[in-house]
Amino acid sequence: MAYRDLREFLARLEREGELQRLSAEVDVDLEITEITDRVSKAGGPALLFERPRSARDGVSYGLPLLINMLGSRRRLELALEVNSLEEVAQRIEDLLEIKPPEGLLDKVKLLPKLSRINSFFPKNVGRGPVKEVIETDTLSLLRLPIMQCWPEDGGRFITFPMVITRSPKTGRRNVGCYRMQVYDERTTGMHWQVHKGGAEHFRALEREGKSRRMDVAVALGADPATMLSGVLPLPEDLDEFLFAGFLRQDPVELVGCETVDLEVPAQAEIVLEGYVDLDDIRTEGPFGDHTGYYSLPDKFPAFHLTCITRRRDPIYVSTIVGRPPMEDYWMGYAVERLFLPLLRKQLPEVVDVHMPAAGVFHNMFVVAIRKSYPGHARKVMHAIWGLPGAMFTKCIVVVDHDVNVHDTQEVAWKALNHIDPERDIQFTLGPVDQLEHASRLPNFGSKMGVDATRKWPSEGFTRPWPDEIVMDAEVKKRVDALWPTLGLKLPKP
C-alpha cells in the first residue's frame, strides 16, 4: 500500500530504525546543517528536529523539521516500497515494452496493462488535510523553520519544494524542485535554471504576451514518491504527478488552490500559493550548492506569496546540499537506477552506468557498453550529450561491458591503462549545467569524452592487446582449502 502522506513514511522510517528524533533546541541557521552533514557523511538516519529555533530572530518555531529522509539506499527503497531499486527499473522497462497490438489477442492482453496506467493519473478530490488551515491575511514565511544552510549563503532557503506551474502555451503542468531564497515575509527567489521546466513556462509567458504574471504553487512535504518526482529529469511533457502515481502504484490526490489556478497534492504538509512576474527579476544567491562550492549570485524571478494552506500541525521538510556525498547523491542515484531502462531503450549497447558522488551528477558519467563497431564509444558519448538529463555531462568515460562501473577504483584502473590520451579523448562544446563554475561562460562550455574501451585493429590499433592478469580457478580453490591452516591474519578492509 502506497504511503498516503509524509507521516506514514515517517512512521515506517521510525519502525525500521531509519529515523532519529532530536528534542534539543537547534538553530535553523547553520546548526542543523552541521549536524545533518555529520550524520549524512557517516551514513546515518533521517533526522526529525522537534524544536527548531532561531537565535537571530528570537523564535521557537513550534513545528518540526525533517531532513535526510532519502539519504541512503535503504531509505530510497523504503520510499519506493521495494527491496531494490531494480524492481522499479523493471516496472519502467515493462512499461516501455508495450508494443502496438497486432491481433485481437494482443489487444486483449494489452487491456489490463493500459487500465493500470490509466489508474495512475492524478485524481482531483474535493478536499484534503492541506486545507485544514487557510491563511490569506496574516501571511508570513518567517513562521516556518527555513534554514540558512551555509555561512556565505545569501539568506535562508527553502530547499526541497515541489514547484508547480502550468505552461502558458500548452496548459501542461510541470513540477520541479527549485530552491527558494527567502527575501522577506512574502517574497522569495525562484531558482529555476534556464534548462528546467519552470523556466520554460516563464519564457512561454513572455512569448504568449497575454499576461505579465504566472501562477505558481509550491507544495512542501508529501509522500516520498511524489516528492522525488519533482527531482526526476522527466521528459518535458510528462506530468510529474502522473509519474508519481506510477511510482506509488496509486494516484496522487490533488486539490485546487485558493488563490491560483493550479492543483496541489491534497495530502501535502504545507502549500505556498503565489505568482511570478516578468517585471520582477532579482538577484538570487549565493548558495552553498551540490558541487561543494557556492553558486554565484544570478538573476531569477521573485515569487510573491498570496496564500498559505497547511495542516494544523505541519512537518517542514528540508534538505541540504554541499560537499558530496549527501542526501542529494542518493536522489541522483535513484535517477541513475530508474532511468537506466529508458537510456537502454535508446542505446541498447549500454550495459550499466554510474555517476560517482564526487562528480555531483553533471561532472562525471561512467558508461559500460558492449562495443560492436569501430568508434562505438564516441557514438555513445555524442548520444549522451544529446539526452535531456545527461546533456550537461562534463566528462563521460566509456568502458567495455566487463568493467564494473560502480567500482570507481576498477574504472580508474582500467581507464587509465587503456587510454592513449591524445588519441582517446574527445572534446566538444555545448550547454553546461548552470551550477558549473569553471566553464568559459555561464551555461556554455566544453566537455570531454574518454574512450577507455579496448582498442581494435579496425580502429587503427594494430599492436597486440595484453590479457588481464587472473589467477587459475583451480589454484584459487586449492588455496581456499589451505587458507584456514595458514594462520594468516589480515587487516580488515
The C-alpha cell 568515460 sits at 397
- Of 338 and 450, which has the nearer Cβ to ligand FMN? 338
- Of 188 and 267, which has the nearer Cβ to ligand FMN? 188
- Of 178 and 275, which has the nearer Cβ to ligand FMN? 178
Helix, strand, or coil (residue 484)? helix
174 near ligand FMN (CB under 6 A) = yes
**395, three cell numbers:** 566528462
197 near ligand FMN (CB under 6 A) = yes
Measured in degrees and rounded to the nearest 5, phi and psi for residue 362 equal -85, -10
| Site track 229-258 with Mn ion (rule: CB under 5 A), x = hit | -----x------------------------
| Site track 216-235 with ligand FMN (rule: CB under 6 A), x = hit | ---------------xxx--
Helix, strand, or coil (residue 373)? coil
334 near ligand FMN (CB under 6 A) = no
Subset of 165-184 contacting Mn ion (CB under 5 A):
174
192 near ligand FMN (CB under 6 A) = yes
442 near ligand FMN (CB under 6 A) = no
* SS3 track for 191-248: CCCCCCHHHHHHHHHHHHCCCCEEEEEEEECCCHHHHHHCCCCCCCCCCHHHHHHHHH
The span from the CA of 485 to the CA of 483, in Å, is 5
The residue among 91, 111, 93, 92 whose CA lies nearest residue 101 is 111
- Of 179 and 418, which has the nearer Cβ to ligand FMN? 179
- Of 266 and 390, which has the nearer Cβ to ligand FMN? 390
| Site track 131-170 with ligand FMN (rule: CB under 6 A), x = hit | ----------------------------xx----------
271 near ligand FMN (CB under 6 A) = no
The span from the CA of 175 to the CA of 238, in Å, is 10
Which stretch in 54-62, 172-180, 255-263, 453-461 sits in contact with ligand FMN by CB under 6 A? 172-180
**369, three cell numbers:** 557498453
Among 45, 168, 176, 325, binds ligand FMN (CB under 6 A): 176
Among 20, 193, 259, 443, binds ligand FMN (CB under 6 A): 193
**445, three cell numbers:** 562550455
For residues 61 and 34, is the Cβ–Cβ distance under 8 A? no
226 near Mn ion (CB under 5 A) = no
Q: Which does residue 380 touch among Mn ion, ligand FMN, none (CB within 5 to 8 A, set by kind)? A: none
- Of 167 and 318, which has the nearer Cβ to Mn ion? 167
Among 72, 188, 319, 453, binds ligand FMN (CB under 6 A): 319
Query: 412 vs 108, 326, 384, 464, 478, CA distance in Å?
Result: 50, 23, 20, 22, 31
Q: Which helix (H) or strand (E) holds 115?
A: helix 104-118
Minimum distance from residue 194 beta carbon to ligand FMN (Å): 8
The span from the CA of 328 to the CA of 357, in Å, is 9
First to last CA, the chain: 40
Query: Degrees (nearest 5) of the Cα angle 157, 159, 160?
Result: 150
Minimum distance from residue 129 beta carbon to ligand FMN (Å): 24
177 near ligand FMN (CB under 6 A) = yes
* CB burial of residue 139 (10 Å; 0-12, 13-18, 19+): middle
179 near ligand FMN (CB under 6 A) = yes
**198, three cell numbers:** 519552470
Q: Which residues contact 397 (CB under 8 A, 6 or more apart)?
A: 364, 365, 366, 367, 411, 415, 449, 450, 452
Q: Which does residue 196 touch among ligand FMN, Mn ion, none (CB within 5 to 8 A, set by kind)? A: ligand FMN
The residue among 139, 137, 313, 158 whose CA lies nearest residue 220 is 158
- Of 174 and 181, which has the nearer Cβ to Mn ion? 174
Query: Degrees (nearest 5) of the Cα angle 476, 481, 485?
Result: 125
197 near Mn ion (CB under 5 A) = yes
Q: Which does residue 193 touch among Mn ion, ligand FMN, none (CB within 5 to 8 A, set by kind)? A: ligand FMN
Q: Which does residue 173 touch among Mn ion, ligand FMN, none (CB within 5 to 8 A, set by kind)? A: none
- Of 178 and 365, which has the nearer Cβ to ligand FMN? 178
Identify whether 289 is a catalytic site residue. Answer: yes
Catalytic choice (289, 328, 424, 451):
289
Q: Which does residue 265 touch among Mn ion, ligand FMN, none (CB within 5 to 8 A, set by kind)? A: none
389 near Mn ion (CB under 5 A) = no
The residue among 90, 98, 128 whose CA lies nearest residue 116 is 98
What residues are labeled active site? 289
Q: Which residues bind ligand FMN (CB under 6 A)?
A: 159-160, 174, 176-179, 191-193, 196-198, 231-233, 319, 321, 328, 331
Q: Which residues bind Mn ion (CB under 5 A)?
A: 174, 197, 234
